[in-house]
Structure 1
Amino acid sequence: MNIDHIEAFLYVVHYKSIHKAANALFLSQPTVTARIKSLERELNVELFHRDGRSVILSDKGKDFVPFATQIVQTFQQGKKQLEETQESDEVCIGTNGVTAQYFLAYALPKWKNDFPHLRFQIITGSTAVILEKLQSHQIHLGLIQYVHREGICNELLLSNAVKLVMHHEHPFKQQKQIKAKELAQQKMVFFECGAFDWNYVHKMFEVEGVTANIEVRTDHLEVAKEFIRTKEYMSFLPHLCVKKELESGEFVEIDVKHLLDMNQHIFLTYKNKETLAPAFWKTIVETAVQFESIQENLN
């Protein structure tokens, strides 16, 4: 049974005219007529009564309408599913700004070299926003913090140490074994990039019965850095983000390893790996390994 013949039948039913159905299908009127007759021969029934140029749905035709509708809908749903699982020329990635700025800036040229036919779209946002887009099939994969959600897969991809930093002219005098109580007296700017579990930081202060003096919260990395440059604030930031400032001596690290050892974990998050070629998924992981190896050698 030809799906085009069934579709032509439904169009004639809808428009109550072979001429109008032909226009809607961008076909000639004889072609639509031929398809209807072929379907009638296959079903061995008369679907329409002809009265000059008019067509009237027969009783058998009325009985066939719900089945024809179901056949076409099932076909269209199957076609859509196949299209979604075919390899796409455009890869849409959702991530936080830090990962986009540092890891993807390194990775994308390599991915493009290995897969020259691919085009990339980068969407930045919070973990919640990226997860929503992932679930609604707006993106192929996310590079975000771990999420526990049915139907969502997480693979650890990157780890990035989080450093407590301040300007080198900040008045705070660091001690070898600094206490959380002393840090709680300092102004802090919290950089909320959607990839940290700040509960660890809060618990560090809670252990000694104090609260962090968080005067500013921002989701913009450069804003956090500018507050540090005022020489009044300190902040927990991903090492990659402040590597240049630490190397140049503009920023200095406050050693809190005895109090807190926190990492920014980025997971490769997805719903269905079949949306992209297996070789591409493998390349993502290999590039992350190379990226972390380079960073370790530079430290």
Structure 2
Amino acid sequence: MNFDYLEAFMYVVRFKSFHKAADALYLSQPSITARIKGLERELDTQLFARQGRGVTLTAKGKEFIPFAEQLIRTYQQSKQKLQTKTDKRRFTIGSNMITAQYVLPDFLHYFQELEPELEFDVRCGGNEQMLEGVSRNEIDIAFVRQQGRELEKLVIEPFLDNSIVLVVHPEHEFESNVRYTAHEIAKESIVFFECGGFNWNLVQKIFEAHNVIPSIKHRVGNMEVAKSLIVHRSGIGFLPKLAVKKELDRGELRSVDVSHLMNFNQQIEGVQSLTNPLNASIKRSLIKAAELFEQKVVYQSVI
């Protein structure tokens, strides 16, 4: 059976749209349509029924899903086995963009030291893209923003603390251990940062709860720009802990306690498939590498 047909089928199932599936696969919609028709010819049955602009699965289409998943999984596993040129194990890590930029460069040093015989691939993208990769057993473990929900056939575990912190320039008048009110913080010039890996709404609730409007001086969608503005005394800001870890360690930024205003705890979570559980040794190494990263251990041999 043609693998391209199966891949197109599963993408249409996920997106419920030929057009969206085509975009996700970087193909034209006619190409997706042709692949689905080819699969239907091979199976001699109709898999989808059009419904307005979208499509729905027929009863036969729903029955075919587990078979398609198994065929894709078998194909991927056999392809990987045949293409492996050494006896070393291969391991695929997925990561959202914030984790890839601010965690993986140091974390992977520790992980490689703990698993020297392991060859690993790293894939980066959006949270949903990474979850999809795990679901299809193309990614062994993905590090994504805290989901706050259960996901079918996926195991989700806390990986790293990525709580939101209020950061200021080291010489700012705010003291680190003083508990400032929402009104006092709102008077400061605030660097507003928001992207897919950061939930500004959680911060906004502080000011809404105290019926105060924050003084937003800058609105930026880039983490490095946000940090630079705070370092250069253009304001204060709420940023993910891992994104400012190095600046805090070097004393270029300083955090201010705001735990009394709201629970800002959020995690980077590790997600794996129920059907593709992690090797026990690899799991221990991932946990140890995370501990070394959080403890700010200077990179050196950890064996």
- Tell me the TM-score normalized by structure 1: 0.59
Residue 80, structure 1, aligned to residue 75, structure 2: yes
Q: Residue in 1 aligned with 2:255?
A: 253
Kept after mapping to 1: 8 A contact 2:206/2:262: yes
Which amino acid letter does the alignment assign opposite residue 99 of structure 1? T
Q: Residue in 2 aligned with 1:141?
A: 141
Alpha-carbon offset, residue 200 of structure 1: 2.9
Rounded to whole Å, the distance in 2 between the matches of 1:237 and 1:115 is 32
Alpha-carbon offset, residue 195 of structure 1: 4.5
Q: Which moved more, 1:87-96 or 1:138-147?
A: 87-96
Alpha-carbon offset, residue 197 of structure 1: 4.3
Alpha-carbon offset, residue 204 of structure 1: 1.1
Alpha-carbon offset, residue 229 of structure 1: 2.9
Q: Which has the larger radius of gyration?
A: 1
2:187 to 166, 170, 185: 185
Kept after mapping to 1: 8 A contact 2:95/2:143: yes
Rounded to whole Å, the distance in 1 between the matches of 2:288 and 2:248 is 28
1:157 to 156, 159, 165: 159
Alpha-carbon offset, residue 269 of structure 1: 0.6
Q: Residue in 2 aligned with 1:13?
A: none
The 5 Å alignment of 1:133-282 reads: 133-147=133-147, 148=149, 149-168=151-170, 176-192=178-194, 194-272=196-274, 274=276, 277-282=279-284
Kept after mapping to 2: 8 A contact 1:90/1:119: yes
Alpha-carbon offset, residue 191 of structure 1: 3.9
Q: Which moved more, 1:243-252 or 1:219-228?
A: 243-252
Rounded to whole Å, the distance in 2 between the matches of 1:201 and 1:100 is 24
Alpha-carbon offset, residue 143 of structure 1: 0.7
Which amino acid letter does the alignment assign opposite residue 140 of structure 1? D
Rounded to whole Å, the distance in 1 between the matches of 2:134 and 2:157 is 15
Rounded to whole Å, the distance in 2 between the matches of 1:258 and 1:178 is 9
Kept after mapping to 2: 8 A contact 1:195/1:266: no
Kept after mapping to 2: 8 A contact 1:142/1:269: yes
Aligned to 1:165, the other structure's residue is in SS state: strand
Alpha-carbon spacing, 1:261–1:115, altered in 2? closer, same or farther (3 Å): same
Aligned to 1:253, the other structure's residue is in SS state: strand
Kept after mapping to 2: 8 A contact 1:195/1:265: no
Kept after mapping to 1: 8 A contact 2:145/2:197: yes
Rounded to whole Å, the distance in 2 between the matches of 1:217 and 1:133 is 33
Rounded to whole Å, the distance in 2 between the matches of 1:132 and 1:214 is 36
Alpha-carbon spacing, 1:224–1:121, altered in 2? closer, same or farther (3 Å): farther
Aligned to 2:226, the other structure's residue is in SS state: helix
Alpha-carbon offset, residue 156 of structure 1: 1.1
Rounded to whole Å, the distance in 1 between the matches of 2:209 and 2:220 is 25
Stretches of structure 2 that go unaligned for 5 or more consecutive residues are: 1-42, 44-66, 298-303
Rounded to whole Å, the distance in 2 between the matches of 1:214 and 1:89 is 50
Q: Residue in 2 aligned with 1:93?
A: 93
Alpha-carbon offset, residue 130 of structure 1: 2.3
Aligned to 1:232, the other structure's residue is in SS state: coil
Kept after mapping to 1: 8 A contact 2:188/2:215: yes
Alpha-carbon offset, residue 169 of structure 1: 5.0
Rounded to whole Å, the distance in 2 between the matches of 1:194 and 1:132 is 17
Alpha-carbon offset, residue 134 of structure 1: 3.1
1:117-138 residue CA offsets vs partner (Å, 9 max, x unmatched): 4333323333233223333444
Q: Which moved more, 1:191-200 or 1:260-269?
A: 191-200
Give aligned pairs, total: 224
Alpha-carbon spacing, 1:271–1:121, altered in 2? closer, same or farther (3 Å): same
Alpha-carbon offset, residue 114 of structure 1: 3.9
Rounded to whole Å, the distance in 1 between the matches of 2:197 and 2:144 is 6
Kept after mapping to 2: 8 A contact 1:205/1:212: yes
Alpha-carbon spacing, 1:244–1:93, altered in 2? closer, same or farther (3 Å): closer
Alpha-carbon spacing, 1:217–1:120, altered in 2? closer, same or farther (3 Å): farther
RMSD: 3.8
Identity %: 33
Stretches of structure 1 that go unaligned for 5 or more consecutive residues are: 1-65, 67-72
Kept after mapping to 1: 8 A contact 2:207/2:214: yes
